[in-house]
Amino acid sequence: MPLGNSFWLDETTIAWIVKNGFTNIVANTPVSVASIAFCWVEWCFGRVFGLNEVALRLPSVLAGIASLYVLYRLGAEFIDRETGFIFIGFYLSLPHVAFETPDARPYSLGIWAATVAVLWLLRWLRSASIKAGLLWVVCSVIACYMHDLFVMPLAIEGAFVVWIALRRTSIPVRQVFGVELLGVVMLLPALPRALALAQQAGQLGFLEVPKLADLLPLILPVYMLAPAVLIALLMAIEGQVLHWTGVKPNAKAAILGALILFIPAFGLFAISRLTSIRLFADRYLTPAVPGFVLLWGLLLRAIEPRSFRRLSVASGLIVSVILIGGFSAVPKYRIEDWRSAVRSIPDAGAALVYSGYVETRRLDWLQQREWWFRLMAPILTYRSSMTPENAFLMPFEFGSTEQAYVRRLMEGPLRDRDTVTVIVRRVFWGPAWLPWISEDLSGRGFRSVSDVRYGSVEVAVFHRSAAR
């Protein structure tokens, strides 16, 4: 795993928050950027192992490993050991699991907590034990505190249990409503942040309108399907016929998996298509991972013979490893080397920074000291000496209003600087900003002395000519 690589943009926010101390975490954590609970976890690991890339990524890695064990227990306890290994195979084949597991971000911990919640939910449905119900709701709420979108599986599972209870099965209705009321109470402290995030949702959109082709890889096991079809054809040539045994003994689990997978996927797809709120991305569908594994794992388990299942999982894993990570022993899922980029910035002069944070869309925030520190996180993580007097944030978009804002910087605080360094993350409008600034600086007597890319982070240094 690429644990020692430079932090990428979102990770630098976590690193900066943790670096500023435990008592400042709540105040320094914007609702749109990070999870307070996750930052507390990161602070603990930082205190023990140091504030470095490996230490802050360790919680996510440990959560990913723990998820493997939980998935195995889920399959082995309710069906057999083979099902547990099938669940693990589907989990490992997911690209967003591979991307998020080595990240200092809350998604891996959220997946772990949500997976444990599914395990306790199925135990609750089987035994009607109040202990299982309480552990389900506690784990679900923990997932929600890791990331707000994990409220989706909690709501789905809560409705599913109510439906089961109302059909007069083993779980008493009063027990169900008591457990779910506890969950609501436990989530109340998160309500103010959730409301604040909802108010900002329209301003924080940056993703494109999704297409149907974007939906299919997130709801279908694409890395398993092609090898499985090929194996089925080869077995047919050899005279071996596949047959379906059905999922009736595990129908509740299969239905639950389908609900946890399809409702968030189609819901976020529809919201992103029909409104200005863009939430359809693989990382925002990590709450659906337990459902994906449960549904497709049970469907594969219902196909005989066993050799087909084993070959499908093994070949699917090989394909996913090659396509996701390539042939590198330490794959680089994120190609942003902020560490090297920041270290290359000259000590003299001033800096203009285009990070690509969607919050930089708000020009008024760029001028507020509080927001400056939050949005300058990729720089401050690796160079704490930067100040609002020598580093300036660039707007997210590249319009006439934004260009006028940067011109005011050139004619104001940058006017008497002889060295200007431009740091641009080459996403969104970043590639458009750099040539525009280069031309503007050229007209003000500057010349380019270096231009180096560190992955997707470009650092261009300009010096003013001696003759003014």
The 10s digit of each residue's pLDDT in 273-288 is: 998 888 898 999 999 9
**Tens of pLDDT, residues 247-306:** 888 899 999 999 999 999 999 999 999 988 888 989 999 999 999 999 999 999 999 999
Residues 208 and 214: their CA atoms lie apart, in Å, by 11
Instruction: Kindly state whether residues 294 and 347 are assigned to the same domain.
Output: no
Instruction: Kindly state whether residues 36 and 140 are assigned to the same domain.
Output: yes
Exposed/middle/buried for 206, CB within 10 Å: 0-12, 13-18, 19+? middle
Between CA 221 and CA 228, with CA 227 as vertex, the angle to 5 degrees is: 75
Residues 29 and 27: their CA atoms lie apart, in Å, by 6
Instruction: Kindly state whether residues 186 and 313 are assigned to the same domain.
Output: yes
* In-domain check, residue 330: no
Residue 466 is predicted with a pLDDT of 64
Instruction: Kindly state the DSSP code that residue 437 receives in the 8-state scheme.
Output: H
Q: At 412, which CATH number?
A: 3.40.50
* In-domain check, residue 3: no
User: How far are the Cα atoms of 6, 39, 368 from residue 21, in angstroms, in the given order?
Assistant: 21, 10, 21
The strand pairing partners of 425, in sequence order, are 457
Amino acid making up residue 283: R
* In-domain check, residue 333: no
Residues 460 and 339: their CA atoms lie apart, in Å, by 15
pLDDT at 329 over 70: no
| DSSP three-state, residue 347 | coil
Report which secondary-structure segment, H or E, holds 327.
Answer: none
Instruction: Kindly state whether residues 146 and 31 are assigned to the same domain.
Output: yes
Largest CA distance in the chain: 88
The domain boundary residue, chosen from 325, 349, 373: 325
Instruction: Kindly state whether residues 202 and 123 are assigned to the same domain.
Output: yes
How many structural domains compose the chain? 2
Rounded to the nearest integer, the mean pLDDT of the chain is 91
Instruction: Kindly state whether residues 81 and 140 are assigned to the same domain.
Output: yes
Give all strands of the β-sheet with 391-393 in edge-to-edge order: 391-393, 350-354, 419-425, 457-464, 446-454
Residue 32 is predicted with a pLDDT of 59
- Name the residue range of residue 443's domain: 338-464
Instruction: Kindly state whether residues 315 and 373 are assigned to the same domain.
Output: no
Instruction: Kindly state whether residues 307 and 437 are assigned to the same domain.
Output: no
Residues 265 and 270: their CA atoms lie apart, in Å, by 9
* In-domain check, residue 104: yes
* In-domain check, residue 4: no
Instruction: Kindly state whether residues 315 and 383 are assigned to the same domain.
Output: no
* In-domain check, residue 58: yes
The domain boundary residue, chosen from 301, 325, 349: 325
Instruction: Kindly state whether residues 256 and 360 are assigned to the same domain.
Output: no
5-17 burial, b for 16+ CB within 10 Å, e for fewer? bbbbbbbbbbbbb
| DSSP three-state, residue 351 | strand
Pick from 137, 116, 132, 236: which is nearest to 186 by CA? 137
* In-domain check, residue 357: yes
Instruction: Kindly state the DSSP code that residue 460 receives in the 8-state scheme.
Output: E
Q: Which tokens sit at 398?
A: 């590249």
**Tens of pLDDT, residues 185-234:** 999 998 888 777 777 666 666 778 899 999 999 999 988 998 999 999 99
pLDDT at 330 over 80: no
**Tens of pLDDT, residues 360-392:** 998 999 989 888 998 999 999 999 989 999 999
Instruction: Kindly state whether residues 308 and 384 are assigned to the same domain.
Output: no
The domain boundary residue, chosen from 303, 325, 347: 325
Residue 277 is predicted with a pLDDT of 82
The strand pairing partners of 450, in sequence order, are 461
* In-domain check, residue 144: yes
Instruction: Kindly state whether residues 321 and 346 are assigned to the same domain.
Output: no
- Of how many residues is the chain composed? 468
